[in-house]
Amino acid sequence: MLILFDHSVPAPLRDYLTKHSVTEAVERGWDRLSNGDLLTAAEAAGFDVLLTADNSLSYQQNLKNRKIAIVVLTGNRWRMVQRTIRKISAAVDGAEPGSYAVIEVPVR
């Protein structure tokens, strides 16, 4: 699968998603796009999954009829994200077009 990390996702996470092709939004020059424009650009470029730590995405955007799957992390501190790598990987592996999954990242 083609996965897009938005600017809020810790870059080291890509090393744990080796079954997939990961691109960071900044690599495409998309790090300054608004969420709606980022989703549209990602879909147009053929990305399967957007991985983000923007917990307000579902409130800010109409996700109905989106083709891209979205996986949201509730936090982005790398030390805490590391504790949920298996859950993140499972969510990415199980992502289907238009799906939306939230991964709870511990605060401490």
* Residue-number span of the structural domain to which 60 is assigned: 2-103
More confident residue, 90 or 60: 90
Helix (H), strand (E) at residue 43: helix 35-44
CA–CA distance, 63 with 82 (Å, rounded to integer):
28
Which two tokens mark 104? 């709870």
Q: What is the pTM of this model?
A: 0.92
pLDDT in tens, 15-63: 999 999 999 999 999 989 988 899 999 999 999 999 999 887 766 666 7
Residue 107 buriedness (CB in 10 A; 0-12 / 13-18 / 19+): exposed
Number of domains comprising the chain: 1
Q: Is 14 within the bounds of a domain?
A: yes
